[in-house]
Amino acid sequence: MRILITGGAGFIGSALVRHLIEHTRHQVLNLDKLTYAGNLQSLTSIAQNPRYQFVQADIADGERVSQALAEFQPEAIMHLAAESHVDRSIDGPAAFIQTNIVGTYALLEATRAYWLQLDETRKQAFRFHHISTDEVYGDLHGVDELFSETTPYAPSSPYSASKAASDHLVRAWHRTYGLPVLLTNCSNNYGPYHFPEKLIPLVILNALEGKPLPVYGNGQQVRDWLYVEDHARALLKVVSEGRVGETYNIGGHNEQKNLDVVRGICELLDELAPRQAGSYKELIAFVPDRPGHDLRYAIDAGKIQRELGWTPEETFASGLRKTVRWYLDNLDWCRHVQDGSYRRERLGAPE
């Protein structure tokens, strides 16, 4: 297939692009605005592959998106472009409304116009795959509850509200206009190339620098952790084999309390990069909780397992060890993000 991926320079997007180029014969056009979260250095390993192309563009720019569609002629669009950091959405929600809602609307309209002019065979085969988050469901209260594909939406933050809105737009374009869509809602991703302000890489890098390891509130918030390369495999399964109009929840079957995640990272670092004295756990520092912080997320991923045969390959223990090892081996990549040089270099891309 020819697959257009929006947000392919982000954390999950770049993992998906690498997976498609390294493990399939698909052609990929990566359309990314290159905000702070877009990093072309995450794609260095496949950047010169003849099946890969990159275009710097904003999904809200309907004319530019239409041009890319006309030139590339994709058979599928996988829409990952989004503002995605909860703390940033609390401090500045406008960017989340613009990208996640207005941008998704503009992309849907450009896609609909492109899809309508396809011949009947290509029109039937076309897919628009919208990648979303489990945060649209709000939080869970019981220890045994799980998010399913029919759980009512109850978003808590400007980020999750904007993603919920984008999900509703995609479903509306399917029901009203017949656009062949697929939706996925995933749990917390982690793994290589994760932006350093997110919990796991932040803790790893702070620990190595001897800085405090911040934990919100009492650290008892529970998340279901999904290794990003497992997620990439799941996304390929859905866009290739999923039923049009359906939603698939993707989870890692790895519920962990935030405090236990931080302690687990410290234990791995104590083993792999020990301090001169003491444990990294001594750096743990509890900080005031985030406003509206959801207590527990957990995914029922039974549908994607039953219908498409996908299950995660990594346990949290194996995935976290791979992740910590990757950061220890790739500190140059981290420093380029931390000092901003990745944005200046852009590997030849225009600013």
| pLDDT tens profile 55-80 | 999 999 999 999 999 999 999 999 99
Banded model confidence at residue 344, pLDDT cuts 50, 70, 90:
low
pLDDT in tens, 9-53: 999 999 999 999 999 999 999 999 999 889 999 999 999 999 999
The two tokens of residue 174 are 């399917």
Other C-beta atoms closer than 10 Å to the C-beta of 289 total 13
Query: Structural domain tally of the chain?
Result: 1
Q: Is residue 272's pLDDT more than 70?
A: yes
Other C-beta atoms closer than 10 Å to the C-beta of 144 total 6
> Is 339 designated active site?
no
Banded model confidence at residue 345, pLDDT cuts 50, 70, 90:
low
Q: Is residue 142's pLDDT more than 80?
A: no
> Is 197 designated active site?
no
Q: Is residue 346's pLDDT more than 60?
A: no
Percent of the chain with pLDDT over 70: 98
Residue tagged active-site, from 83, 134, 230, 314: 134
Tokens 């495999």 correspond to what residue?
A: 233
Kind and range of the H or E element at 86? helix 86-91
| Mean pLDDT score, 185-202 | 94
pLDDT in tens, 108-140: 999 999 999 999 999 999 999 999 999 999 988
Residue 245's pLDDT is 98
Kind and range of the H or E element at 94? helix 94-96
> Is 159 designated active site?
yes
pTM summary value: 0.94
Residue tagged active-site, from 32, 58, 135, 230: 135
Q: Is residue 184's pLDDT more than 80?
A: yes
Residue 238's pLDDT is 98
Domain that holds residue 224: 2-348
Residue 144's pLDDT is 81
Q: Is residue 157's pLDDT more than 60?
A: yes
Q: Is residue 232's pLDDT more than 90?
A: yes
- Supply the mean pLDDT for the chain: 94
- How far is 220 from 34, CA to CA, in rounded Å? 34
| Mean pLDDT score, 308-316 | 97
Banded model confidence at residue 349, pLDDT cuts 50, 70, 90:
very low
Of 225, 211, 238, 198, the closest CA to residue 84 belongs to 198
CATH number of the domain residue 206 falls in: 3.40.50.720
- How far is 248 from 300, CA to CA, in rounded Å? 10
Of 274, 271, 262, 264, the closest CA to residue 208 belongs to 274
Residue tagged active-site, from 52, 137, 159, 297: 159
Are 262 and 218 contacting, i.e. CB atoms less than 8 angstroms apart? no
- How far is 351 from 337, CA to CA, in rounded Å? 16
In the chain, % helix, strand, coil (3-state, to 5) comes to 50, 15, 35
Residue 160's pLDDT is 95
The residue with greater pLDDT, 151 or 85, is 151
Residue 37's pLDDT is 84
- How far is 19 from 14, CA to CA, in rounded Å? 8
DSSP 179: -
The amino acid at residue 44 is: T
- How far is 190 from 305, CA to CA, in rounded Å? 21
Give burial (CB, 10 Å; 0-12/13-18/19+) of 80.
buried
